[in-house]
């Protein structure tokens, strides 16, 4: 057990801030994608929220504040605030419904891009996400060497979408994370047709402190319209 002198600063800082950690996209603990959720009465300083997120060291930490009938939401990785996050939004809805007794069957989250709606459907939470259709671009120079795999195609969106030849190529992808972080997009999605499912994907975002995200909801804003057109 650490000495009290080590614990004291954290006890002082977090004494009045209750938080919940939720494993999203899973039906069991220690699986899926974990997120920390803070329900605040008012906004903290952005630098402080970033420090809190770094302390948790999860893919995302979400902060929510009530604004009228809706909730404004912000998401932080261990190193940066990000414009959109799926699993931490679902985690926030779960916390508001189950831990704080939020009434009704739907929660609207306000973010910089508009509004995200999360609805209760039986035991599930359903998130209505924006559609971000990617556009084909030339393969960036050196990308094959960075990924250790040869791209079949590359498409541009808020994240870079890289099509690989097969599911096995996606599984075998072992990118140079330092080089990946220097690309002009915060995250790179690699994807391919699946063997037992429609498609598979992995998401790398070292530029914002996430070497690889376990499950990435926001990536499916791009993946779903792309594979819908193909399938």
Residues acting as catalytic residues:
60
What sections of 138-219 are H helices per DSSP?
A: 143-147, 167-172, 177-180
Rounded distance, CA 55 to CA 186, Å? Answer: 21
Contact 111, 84 (CB under 8 A): yes
E strands, the chain, in order: 19-24, 33-40, 60-67, 70-76, 81-82, 106-111, 114-121, 124-128, 135-137, 153-156, 160-163, 188-193, 199-205, 210-213
């Amino acid at each position: 057990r650490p000495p009290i002198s080590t614990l004291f600063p954290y006890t002082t800082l977090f004494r009045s801030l209750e938080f919940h950690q939720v494993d999203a996209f899973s039906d069991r603990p220690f699986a899926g994608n974990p997120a920390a959720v803070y329900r605040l009465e008012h906004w903290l300083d952005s630098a402080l929220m970033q420090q809190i997120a770094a302390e948790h060291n999860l893919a995302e930490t979400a902060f929510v504040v009530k604004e009228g009938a809706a909730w404004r939401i912000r998401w932080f990785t261990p190193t940066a605030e990000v414009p959109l996050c799926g699993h931490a939004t679902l985690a926030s809805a779960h916390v508001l419904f189950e831990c704080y007794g939020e009434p009704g069957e739907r929660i609207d989250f306000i973010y910089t891009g508009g509004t995200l709606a999360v609805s209760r459907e039986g035991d599930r939470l359903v998130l209505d996400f924006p559609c971000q259709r990617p556009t084909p671009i030339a393969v960036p120079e050196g990308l094959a060497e960075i990924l250790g795999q040869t791209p079949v195609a590359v498409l541009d969106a808020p994240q870079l979408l890289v099509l690989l030849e097969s599911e096995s190529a996606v599984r075998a992808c072992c990118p140079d994370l330092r080089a990946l972080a220097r690309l002009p997009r915060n995250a790179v999605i690699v994807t391919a047709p699946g063997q037992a499912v429609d498609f598979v994907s992995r998401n790398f975002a070292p530029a914002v402190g996430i070497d690889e995200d376990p499950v990435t909801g926001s990536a499916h804003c791009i993946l779903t319209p792309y594979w819908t057109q193909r399938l």
